[in-house]
Amino acid sequence: MQKAVSEMIAKDPLTSLFLVDIGVWAFRDLLVGYPRRVKNIGIFEPGTISIAAGLSLSGITPIVYGISPFIVQRALEQLKLDFVYQKTGGNFITTGASYDFSTLGYSHYCPEDVMTLKTLPGFEVLTPATPGQFTCLFKACAKNGVPSYFRMTDYCNKNEVHIDFGKAKLMKQGKMGTVAVWAEMLDAVIGACSNLDVSILYFTSAVPFDYEALRSYMDKKLVLCHPFYEGTFSDDIQKLGWNSDICEIAVPKKVLRTYGTKGDKDIELSLTPEAIKNRIQNFLIQP
Amino acid sequence: MNEIDTMKSLRKEMIAISNLGQDGNLQSCFSSLEILWALYHDGMNYTYENRMEKEHDRFVLSKGQSNLALMVVLAKCGYIRHDELKCFCKLNSRISMQADRTKFDGLIECSAGSLGHGFPIAVGMAFAAKMCDFPGHVYTLVGDGEMNEGTMWEAMLFAASENLDNITMIVDDNNSVNKMLGGMNLPEKLSAFGFAVENVNGHNIAELRSALQRKNGKPTAILAKTVRGYGCKTLMEDPSWFHRYPSEDELPRLYKEVDEF
């Protein structure tokens, strides 16, 4: 992420980066090299998003880097009114996906980010899970004139998958059913499905949603597997008019109070490869 | 027509339009009228023709409820057709209670409505101008009630930190906040946040022009003392006029009060 952003700042004088007092060490060279355009702005997300909108309405592409819940939820009205309503573009890159910051508690969790941003018409919601995928999506979207959310995780997939913006990638073809998977869940799903006769479709964007990729599997059972709140894609599935059985393996919609490591949480929420395998198998054998 | 008569004429036009559109924030609009007039008449370096150039001054209406006052001023400038004002609040009109910038081809810089947004956006515009070495100044009209919003003070921290001497915030100080919170003392707070503070009579166009043109070497706040509903006795005295429109029967009396003010 840092490399792609740094390259854009270096190449394009009409770009600006605001850090919400996070990533200061990672971007230390940019802060020194481009002091007029790269700022550690401090901790005031709503005001920061509005100021970024002022840049955008002046022809400058803003990039804001902060923590997921404080960008998506604390500054939601600013994203809605200062970018969507003004019809202007900007880039919002976050750290702290879902419960990545597991020891910090509910205040720092954000499994609802994708569901929340899907309520903003025209807002791109991107879920890369490797640095290479971020670079691909960032190059495609950073200057396309619409607001784009880049949900970054600390738990990148080890499987590097080359992707195209807005397109799901077929990872494996099978007959028993289809697993649609998002973000850092891919590694777990690949592990879980190694001996299962299922197709795996890997998505790196929630908006745009690749309806066409799923449409050709509508006669098969579908598993939705993602690290967001359950129900995040209900509207998309309804839009498709899905007529086969569906199972959702995701983060339950409840207040998570248990701390522990990310791995502890995966076990607690039955999101480990073993648990996912069992859940998929049980679903597939149901009549 | 002198400027005092022009203001009376615009107030009567707002009353008529509010009646046609069956909605209105006339108290706020009457409070802001002279400020908006001064901005577009020698207060800013702005013409319709240069509005798309990056060097011109920019204006952001942060207190969106004064939009009708802005629309009648722009129409008087010839930037909007007068007959279009009659479509106020109608379906698919571009003239309504709050402005939508996407309908104005650069004439309106920022869509408004929710308070606490326009000023921080204006700060971003001023910062962008500094970044690009553009000479233009950014003006923004806010309400004293709007100053309760946290984003206003967040953006002020940034404007002062970056010493954005190319932004002027005009506070339409019509005594809204003092009805809600005590101890606001805006001049002291604005000054503490690094702004040069100017105090003016917000209904005196000459005073406003002079303050708008002064540059202070740091971000500026013009505290414009105003009166809700100024220029019409009923609107000044009856709080129900914050959000209502005049009926057909009320029009003659309101016009008369404006004429006699």
ipTM value: 0.96
Mutate to test the interface with A, among B54, B56, B121 (most CBs of A within 10 A): B121
Q: Could you tell me if A21 and A133 lie in one domain? A: yes
Note down pLDDT in tens along chain A; length 287 residues.
999 999 999 999 999 999 999 999 999 999 999 999 999 999 999 999 999 999 999 999 999 999 999 999 999 999 999 999 999 999 999 999 999 999 999 999 999 999 999 999 999 999 999 999 999 999 999 999 999 999 999 999 998 999 999 999 999 999 999 999 999 999 999 999 999 999 999 999 999 999 999 998 998 999 999 999 999 999 999 999 988 899 999 999 999 999 999 999 999 999 999 999 999 999 999 88
DSSP characters for A144-165? SSSEEEEE--SS--SS-----T
Q: Where are the domains of chain B?
A: 3-238+250-260
Residue A234 lies in a domain: yes
Domain that holds residue A119: 2-151
Instruction: List, for residues A44-91, the tens digit of each pLDDT value.
Output: 999 999 999 999 999 999 999 999 999 999 999 999 999 999 999 999
Residue A142 lies in a domain: yes
What is the radius of gyration, based on Cα positions, of chain A?
A: 19
Separation between Cα atoms, residue B39 and residue A97, nearest integer Å = 46
The alpha carbon of residue A2 is apart from the nearest alpha carbon of chain B, in Å, by 22
Domain count within chain A: 2
Residues 24-63 (A) with a CB less than 8 A from some CB of B: 36-37, 41-42, 44, 46-48, 50-60, 62
Tokens of A153: 């995780």
Mutate to test the interface with A, among B158, B164, B167 (most CBs of A within 10 A): B158
Tokens of B73: 């001023």
Residue A201 lies in a domain: yes
The answer to whether A144 contacts chain B (CB < 8 Å) is no
Strand intervals (E) in B48-156? 58-61, 138-143
Taking an 8 Å cut-off on Cβ atoms, the answer to whether A47 and B154 are in contact is yes
Taking an 8 Å cut-off on Cβ atoms, the answer to whether A86 and B155 are in contact is no
What SS3 state is found at B196? strand
Residue numbers in A near B113 (CB within 8 A): 81, 85
pLDDT of the residue at A116: 98
Instruction: Tell me how far CA of residue B12 lies from CA of B76, B95, B157, B232, in angstroms.
Output: 13, 17, 40, 9
What SS3 state is found at B261? coil
Taking an 8 Å cut-off on Cβ atoms, the answer to whether B113 and A81 are in contact is yes
Q: What residues contact A132, with CB distance under 8 A and at least 6 apart?
A: A160, A162
Separation between Cα atoms, residue B169 and residue B8, nearest integer Å = 26
Tell which residue, A127, A177, A175, A143, has the closest CA to residue A61.
A143
Query: Scanning the structure block, which residue is given the tokens 């941003």?
Result: A117
Taking an 8 Å cut-off on Cβ atoms, the answer to whether A51 and B124 are in contact is yes
Confidence band for B68, pLDDT divided at 50, 70 and 90 = very high
Q: Could you tell me if A128 and A230 lie in one domain? A: no
Separation between Cα atoms, residue A27 and residue A33, nearest integer Å = 10
Tokens of A206: 């929630």
Taking an 8 Å cut-off on Cβ atoms, the answer to whether A50 and B126 are in contact is no
Q: Could you tell me if A141 and A182 lie in one domain? A: no
- How many Cβ atoms sit within 10 Å of the Cβ of residue B78? 9
Taking an 8 Å cut-off on Cβ atoms, the answer to whether A16 and B131 are in contact is yes
The alpha carbon of residue B139 is apart from the nearest alpha carbon of chain A, in Å, by 13
Q: Could you tell me if A84 and A58 lie in one domain? A: yes
Q: Could you tell me if A243 and A120 lie in one domain? A: no
Mutate to test the interface with B, among A58, A70, A74 (most CBs of B within 10 A): A58
The alpha carbon of residue A13 is apart from the nearest alpha carbon of chain B, in Å, by 9
CATH code where residue A63 lies = 3.40.50.970
Tokens of A46: 């709503």
Cβ–Cβ under 8 Å, residues B60 and B120:
no
State in words which class domain B3-238+250-260 has.
alpha beta
Instruction: Tell me how far CA of residue B198 lies from CA of B116, B157, B205, in angstroms.
Output: 21, 19, 14
Q: Could you tell me if A27 and A117 lie in one domain? A: yes
Instruction: List, for residues B78-130, the tens digit of each pLDDT value.
Output: 999 999 999 999 999 999 999 999 999 999 999 999 999 999 999 999 999 99
Separation between Cα atoms, residue A62 and residue B141, nearest integer Å = 24
The alpha carbon of residue B185 is apart from the nearest alpha carbon of chain A, in Å, by 22
Confidence band for B5, pLDDT divided at 50, 70 and 90 = very high
Tokens of B260: 């006699």
The alpha carbon of residue B101 is apart from the nearest alpha carbon of chain A, in Å, by 7
